[in-house]
Amino acid sequence: MITVSKHVTYFIILIFLGVFVYNALIFFKADNNKFYTPSKPITLNGAHDMVISNLDIKGGEADCIKLTNCYNITIKNCRLRSSKQNGADIINSKNITVINCYFENTETGVYAYKSEGIKIIHNQFKNMHGPLPKGQMAQFNEVYGKGNRVNFNKCQNNLGAGNPEDVINMYKTNGTVNDPIQIIGNHIRGGGPSKTGGGIMLGDNGGSYMIVKDNILVDPGQYGIAIAGGTNIQIIRNKIFGRQQPFTNVGIYIWNQHTSGCALNTITNNKVNFTNSHGDANHSWNGGNCGKVTGWETNTWGAEIDAKILPANIVNLQ
């Protein structure tokens, strides 16, 4: 019969405890060694010069984070999810940065209204549930001025998981001549079944000074990228693929739908392959009421691209 001393037994127990704790930490640890603290929804009014970080917020009936009349606030390394409202609701605020956060199953990811200096950078969004008029990854509503960015984000809407609208929407929003609104380097996969929503909507009810560059969109919905009005909007070097689905229409279009005017816009060096709901190639459409569109002839309509321009899954819980 083999006997084990008390000290050896304690040593073995400690080893097992160490393995258990290590595995537990691995399970709860996210990318970049981030740890999350569960939190109730946060509402701030008039707050400034602060960082909200490493929180896991399930919004329920409320916005996960709501900022009103705030400035110089960074929201980083947070999980904002499971809300019937917005992940981050930003009202009448200035210099707000949302970075390295994970959004899932919220009405809209980030909604900004009458604010300036809104930066949405390096975030992940999954299954924005809408419905119309919400359902965006990011929506700017009467956002203005300098320092507005929607850059290097990833959004995946799995068909049937919600009712997303435009993944990115710029409504009555204006940058400046020296600092246009940037929508750069975003990866978008999935959209529908909305017959009006799609990828990136610009100049919605007017707007100006935006640059939309180097984004990749796969099956984003009814359309890929659109200018619905406004001036000095640039769509440059994007890739858009859309397979036939019951709600698909067109890859890129420009068509003034408002009284605010539409002119001085650029659509250049994009690669588009888009099939409408009837099975017909419908890569682009110019409604003819926005004047000369600079660069129209430089685009590759019917480009040899397919759904593999993005991985099948681009968003991972972090």
pLDDT value at residue 132: 87
Domains of the chain: total:
1
- Assess if residue 11 is contained within a domain: no
Distance CA 191, CA 123 (A): 18
Question: Smallest Cα–Cα separation from 222: which of 204, 239, 255, 244?
Answer: 244
In which domain, by residue range, is 93 found? 35-309
Contact indicator for 181, 211 with CB cutoff of 8 Å: yes
For the beta carbon of residue 70, count every other beta carbon within 10 angstroms: 22
Contact indicator for 202, 213 with CB cutoff of 8 Å: no
Written as six digits, the tokens of 138 are 């990011």
**5 has pLDDT over 90:** no
pLDDT band of 6, cuts 50, 70, 90: low
**126 has pLDDT over 90:** yes
Q: According to DSSP H, which parts of the chain are helical? A: 6-28
pLDDT band of 33, cuts 50, 70, 90: very low
- Assess if residue 314 is contained within a domain: no
Place of tokens 């019969």: 1
**119 has pLDDT over 50:** yes
- Assess if residue 115 is contained within a domain: yes
Distance CA 21, CA 27 (A): 10
Q: How confident is the model over 79-89, as a mean pLDDT?
A: 97
pLDDT band of 32, cuts 50, 70, 90: very low
- Assess if residue 2 is contained within a domain: no
Distance CA 225, CA 214 (A): 12
- Assess if residue 22 is contained within a domain: no
Tell me the whole-structure pTM to 2 decimals. Answer: 0.89
Q: pLDDT digit string (tens) for 222-278?
A: 999 999 999 999 999 999 999 999 999 999 999 999 888 999 999 999 999 999 999
DSSP class per residue in 25-80: HHHH--GGG---EEE--EEEES-EEEEEESEEEEEETS-SEEEES-EEEEEES-EE
